Chains A and B, each alone.
Chain A
Amino acid sequence: RKEVEQDPGPFNVPEGATVAFNCTYSNSASQSFFWYRQDCRKEPKLLMSVYSSGNEDGRFTAQLNRASQYISLLIRDSKLSDSATYLCVVYTGTASKLTFGTGTRLQVTL
């Protein structure tokens, strides 16, 4: 079983739609969680951290469920510029390293 699992997609949604991505992780000792965004032929960039209480940044909402080892990202009112691959990322302090999911591709269309 992969340490971090994501649905690769692609998710094709019209502009203005709401879309949700899910991610599961296997290591219960994982401490921190993130969503990174990667545009085509570019480097991954931090989108937001994920907290147990849930956190929101504009149109983006991230949630963490430690009991189920599950992370989600919700994007409201999708824009064309949201088209990218979204990487679920888990940090394990004992190993001091990030583990990346393979990413979920989002394509927002007119």
Chain B
Amino acid sequence: DAGVIQSPRHEVTEMGQEVTLRCKPISGHDYLFWYRQTMMRGLELLIYFNNNVPIDDSGMPEDRFSAKMPNASFSTLKIQPSEPRDSAVYFCASSFFSDTQYFGPGTRLTVL
């Protein structure tokens, strides 16, 4: 059974460019979470959805970040414009109930 799928696995871009990260949750899961991980701040929750509806986006750092979940099998996290301080590993996770979460392999983003 496939786990959470994320793409791309690595992204290198220049400051000011738009970045779109993609996630396919585990089939049947009704919660989807976006996290960011850095050495300095650890793992931070950015936003999460329940049944495709955004529930809590208080972790989204600023208006440059946006996330959508148009259907139960797909979500995107967009950064526009990107900045060097956005460099991090971005994880998507999904769960059936919100406590036991399964993580994707992550997207390693580098903004030059």
Chain B contacts with A in 8-62, Cβ cutoff 8 A: 31, 33, 42-43, 45, 48, 50, 55-56
- A97 with B98: CB separation less than 8 A: yes
For residue A59, CB closer than 8 A to chain B, the reply is no
For residue A87, CB closer than 8 A to chain B, the reply is yes
The number of A-B residue pairs with CB atoms under 8 Å apart is 48
Q: How far is the CB of A73 from chain B (nearest CB, A)?
A: 17
User: Which chain A residue lies CB-closest to B44?
Assistant: A100
**Within the assembled complex, what's the spacing in Å between the Cα atoms of A43 and B90?**
10
- A97 with B48: CB separation less than 8 A: yes
- B99 with A43: CB separation less than 8 A: no
Given A43-B91, A43-B104, A43-B106, does the pair A100, B99 have CB atoms closer than 8 Å? Answer: no
**Within the assembled complex, what's the spacing in Å between the Cα atoms of A55 and B48?**
30
Residues of B within 8 A of A (CB): 31, 33, 42-43, 45, 48, 50, 55-56, 91, 98-106
Residues of A within 8 A of B (CB): 31-32, 34, 42-46, 49, 87, 91, 93, 95-103
Q: Could you list 9 further interchain pairs (A-B, Cβ under 8 angstroms) beyond the known A32-B99, A97-B56?
A: A31-B99, A42-B105, A42-B106, A43-B103, A44-B43, A96-B48, A96-B50, A96-B56, A100-B43
